[in-house]
A and B are shown apart, each in its own frame.
Chain A
Amino acid sequence: MRLRNASTPSGRKRPVTEGAGFLLVLAAGVVLAYLGSGYVLQLSGDALALGMAAMGLDFLMGYTGRVSFGQAAWLAVGAFASGYLFLHGWDVITATLATIGIIIVLSAVMGAVATITGGLAFAIVTLAEGVIIYTIINHLGILGAGVGLFGIPLPKIAGQTWLGSQRSLFLLALVLALICYVAVRALVAAPAGRFCQAIRDDEMRARSIGVEVQRYQILAFVVSSVVAGIGGIAFVVLNGGVQPSQAAWDQSGLILVMLIIGGTRTLYGGFIGAFIYVFAQNYLTQSFANDWQIYLGAIFVLMVLVLPGGLAGGVRLALTGLGSGAGQRLRRRRAGGDSDEPGIEPTAGDRMVGVSE
C-alpha cells in the first residue's frame, strides 16, 4: 500500500486538486500584483519568501520524512549572502547563482552531520545548526555585526535597474517562487524524489532494497535549504535589508507552523500557511494583542492532532469526500496507518523500541 503510494508521488488520485491549487496560487498572485496596494504587495512578497522556505521544508518533511527546526537559518543565509553581494554591485543573476552555490556547499556539510543518526537527532541537530548559523551571522562584521544589512540597492539585471516599483519586486518574488515550485514538483516525480518518499514511507525497507538513505536525505536537506535561500534572496530584495533575528530559532518554528497549517505533502501548502500567517499577523494583532501567540500555537496543535494534512489536506479531504468511496477511505484513515493521510507515516520504527541503561 505504502510502496504504491511512493511510486506514484503525485498519484492518479489527486492530480486535479494539485493542479488546481497551483493555478489558484498563480492566479491569486497575478490578481494581487495588479490590484493590491503597496502595503499588500509588501506583505504578499514577504509571504512568498517565507512560503518558499516552507515549501523547501515540505520537501524535507512531507516527502522525505525529516523535520528540521533550523529552516529560517537557511532563508537568512540566502538573504545575507545575496544582500552582501548586492551591496557590492552584483547583478541579480550572478548573485543568485553564487548564493545558491554557497548554500549547496554549506547545507551539504551540515546535512551530512544531521543525517548521521535518526529522525529525532535530525530535528535537534538541525536546530543546533540553525543556532550556529544565527550566531555566526550575528557576529560577522561583514554581515553587519548584529545590526544586519540595510540600504541594499534595487536589484540590477545586466547592469540595468529594471525593477523599480513595489509591483515589479513582488513579481520577481512570484517568478522565483514559481520556478522553485516547478523545480521541486519535478524533483518529486523524478527517481531521486521517489527514493526520498520511499525513505519516508519505510526507511528500513528503502535501505533493504538498496536506496542509499543518507545520501538522499542529504539531497533533500540541500534542496530544502536552497529553496529557503532563494526565498531569502526575494526577502532581501523586497525589504532592502535583513536583520540577524531572521535566522533565529523562533523564525524556524514559525516556518514549521506555516507549513503545518497550510498543509504538508502539497508543496503549495507552505504558501497558503505563509499568506495566512503574514496577513493575520498584520491585521489581527491589533484586536488580539498578546493573545496572538496563544491562538497560533493552539491552532497549530489542533492541526497536528486533528488535521495532519493542514488546510490543503482538509480541502482535499472535503473534495474527495464528495466523490465515491470517500467513506471507505475515511474509515481506513481513522483506523490509522493508512498512507493516504497527507501527514507523516507510521514507520517500521514502530516496532523498534528500546531502552538500554
Chain B
Amino acid sequence: MTAPGAVTSGLLAFNLIDAWLYGSLLAGVAVSLTLVFGLGRVVNFAVGSFYMVAAYIAVDLRGTLGFWLAMVVAALLMVVLGAIVELVTIRPIRRRPEITTVLATFGVSIVVEGVVQQVWGTGTRSPNAPIGGSVALFGQDVSVYTFVAAGVGMALFAGVWLLLRKTSLGTTLRGASQNRSMAQLIGIDTATLMTGLFAVSAGIAGVVGGLSGPLFSVNPNMDQNFLLDAFLAVVIGGLGSVRGAIVGAYVVATVENLAISFITGDIATAVSFGAVILILLVRPTGIFREGRVVA
C-alpha cells in the first residue's frame, strides 16, 4: 500500500481494523468447516464456491429485494445447494478416506467456477455498501458498513458456539463427533446430521459471501483466496477444534494485514502464508493443542 518505512500508526491501526473485520468473516466459516470435519472427517473444498455464488446472487437480487433480504435469500439458496452437494458427492464416498472428500469437493468447485463464468461472465463487480457513512479513526476513514459486517460475522460464530454448547442438537453433534458409531448405536442418524451440518456450513459461507460483496470485489476467482484462508485458519487452529478455528481465523487475518502494512506488493502474500505455516512448527496440533495429528 505504501512504501516500507512509511508505516504510520494510523495506517497500522487501520489495517488491524481490517484484520478484525476479515477475521470475523473467516471465523464463522472456519468453525463450520472444523465441525463438518469433526463429525464425518469430511473436508469441504467447495466452501469457496458457496461463498462466491452467494456473492453473485446477492448482487443480482439486491435491486428487487434490497441488500439484506438478498443476502438472506442467497444464503438460503446455498443451504439448499450445500445439501445437494453433500447428497450427491459426499454421501456416496462416506466409507472412503477423508482425502477423497477433498477431491470430490474440489471437483465441485471446478464445476461451479465454470458455471459462474458462464452465467455471470469473467468481469469484476464492486457493489456499494448498503450503509453509507464512515467513522474517522486514527486519521483514517473507516466505513460504518465495516463494523456492521464484522458484527454480523461475529454473531455467526457466536451463534454456532451457542448452538453447540447450549442446545440439545449441539450436544448430539458433539457426541456424534466424539464417537460416531456409539451415536449411531443409540439411534442418532449421523448421515442426516452430516447433510444438515454441511448445508448449514454452506449457508454460513453464503452469508459471508453476501456480506463480502461491498467489502471486496465480486469476481470468478474470489473463491480461491477465501478457501485457502479459511482452511489455514482451521489447520493452525487444530483440526476439529472449534475455539482453535475462531482464533486461527483472527491470526490468519492479522498476519495477512500486518504483512500488507509492512511489505510492498504481492510478496506480502508469500510472507504472510509463510508466517502462518510456521505456526504449525510450534503448535503442530493447533493453537490449543487439541487438533488431530494422525491421518
Contacts and interface: CB of A to CB of B under 8 A. Distances in A.
B261 interface: no
A250 B104 CA distance: 16
Contacts of A124: 228, 231-232, 234-235
Contact of B280 (A69, A113, A250, A257): A113
B92 interface: yes
Interface centre among A65, A297, A300, A344 (most CB of B within 10 A): A297
Query: Which of B106, B232, B266, B276 has the most CB atoms of chain A within a 10 A radius of its CB?
Result: B106
Interface in A316-350: 336-337, 343-350
Given A260-B103, A292-B114, A297-B107, A120 B294 contact: no
Contacts of B156: none
Contacts of A27: none
Contacts of B34: 355
A301 B104 contact: yes
Given A253-B110, A290-B117, A355-B34, A346 B102 contact: no
Given A345-B97, A353-B178, A305 B89 contact: yes
B283 to A, nearest CB: 10
Interface in B96-114: 96-100, 102-104, 106-114
Contact of A121 (B38, B110, B239): B239
A164 interface: no
Given A118-B239, A131-B228, A297 B100 contact: no
A125 B177 CA distance: 24
A272 interface: no
Interface residues of A, number: 60
A346 B41 contact: no
Interface stretch (A44-52, A134-142, A172-180): A134-142
B178 A119 contact: no
A27 B294 CA distance: 43
A347 B99 CA distance: 10
B99 A67 contact: yes
Contacts of A293: 110-111, 113-114, 117
Given A135-B267, A256-B103, A355 B242 contact: yes
Given A135-B270, A308-B96, A343-B96, 15 more contacts: A113-B280, A117-B235, A118-B293, A119-B295, A120-B43, A129-B273, A132-B270, A132-B273, A138-B266, A293-B113, A294-B115, A297-B110, A304-B104, A349-B98, A356-B290
